[in-house]
């Protein structure tokens, strides 16, 4: 803990002066001989939207997974609030992901057999919400994201953009404090991407949810408050100091 604090203090204080929500220091991770992460420092403050960009294979997805506690780094620490994520066991990390984090991926994340509302209710049910209440909240979220008419459709009957917004509804339904999204607009055209990103950022802002997203698309990255560029497993622009 101490080490993190000293480093944070040496960093330029964020505008609101508060401690970061998520703070990563010295992350290293190798898959065999491939060094996917080579010493990464990153802070994310409450409600902040960060875009992680960089060439393909530079380690963006890996970074996201490590930050979210899906992968465990070989070296370095990730702190969420007062919890040291990298010290938790798999069950603890799962619990944290379920309670505090939300996830949106590029495609194919909806259960094909469940209609839009039911898909959105899944994390709520996992969190112990009653089915009826979960459905009510899910419907409200879908309405908010302009999907009222699609709520009874199966994922196979939705367009990519609609499916992506359903995924956003699902990710935000549990009111996470931090939303991770990997290429949320990767398979969408400009307009669909814009709709999705607007929906995502507006909803996240309203809920004061911080977002860490990876993308190849500068226009998607432009929705973020700041950009972090990863090259060869290192941050070349952005980083811990904002």
Ligand X SMILES: Nc1ncnc2c1ncn2[C@@H]1O[C@H](COP(=O)(O)OP(=O)(O)OP(=O)(O)O)[C@@H](O)[C@H]1O
Note whether 36 binds ligand X by CB under 6 A: yes
Note whether 114 binds another protein by CB under 8 A: yes
Site string for another protein, 50-69 (x = CB under 8 A): -----x---------x--x-
Site for ligand X in 56-75 (CB under 6 A): 56-62
Site for Mg ion in 217-236 (CB under 5 A): none
What, of another protein, ligand X, Mg ion, none, does residue 166 touch, CB below 5 to 8 Å by kind?
A: none
CB of 149 to ligand X, least distance (A): 33
Site for ligand X in 156-215 (CB under 6 A): none
End-to-end Cα spacing for the chain: 21
Note whether 83 binds another protein by CB under 8 A: no
C-beta closer to another protein: residue 3 or 130: 130
C-beta closer to another protein: residue 4 or 114: 114
CB of 231 to ligand X, least distance (A): 10
Q: Could you tell me if residue 232 is left (phi over 0), alpha (psi between -120 and 50 degrees) or otherwise beta?
A: left
Of 61, 86, 177, 220, the one binding Mg ion by CB under 5 A: 61
């Amino acid at each position: 803990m101490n080490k993190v604090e000293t480093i944070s203090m040496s960093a330029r204080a964020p505008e609101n002066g508060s401690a970061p929500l998520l703070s990563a220091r010295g992350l290293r991770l190798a898959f065999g001989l491939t060094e996917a992460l080579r010493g990464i420092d990153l802070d994310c403050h409450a409600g902040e939207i960060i875009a992680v960009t960089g060439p393909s294979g530079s380690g963006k997805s890996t970074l996201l997974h490590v930050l979210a506690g899906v992968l465990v780094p070989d070296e370095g620490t990730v702190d969420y609030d007062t919890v040291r994520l990298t010290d938790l066991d798999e069950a603890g990390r799962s619990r944290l992901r379920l309670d505090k984090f939300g996830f949106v991926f590029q495609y194919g994340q909806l259960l094909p057999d469940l209609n839009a509302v039911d898909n959105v209710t899944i994390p709520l049910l996992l969190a112990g919400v009653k089915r009826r209440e979960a459905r009510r909240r899910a419907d409200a979220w879908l309405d908010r994201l302009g999907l009222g008419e699609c709520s009874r459709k199966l994922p196979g009957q939705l367009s990519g953009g609609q499916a992506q917004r359903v995924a956003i509804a699902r990710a935000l339904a549990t009111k996470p404090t931090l939303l991770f999204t990997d290429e949320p607009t990767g398979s969408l055209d400009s307009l669909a991407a814009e709709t999705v990103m607007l929906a995502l950022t507006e909803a996240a802002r309203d809920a004061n949810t911080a977002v860490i997203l990876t993308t190849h698309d500068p226009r998607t990255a432009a929705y973020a408050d700041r950009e972090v560029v990863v090259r060869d497993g290192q941050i070349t622009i952005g980083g811990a100091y904002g």
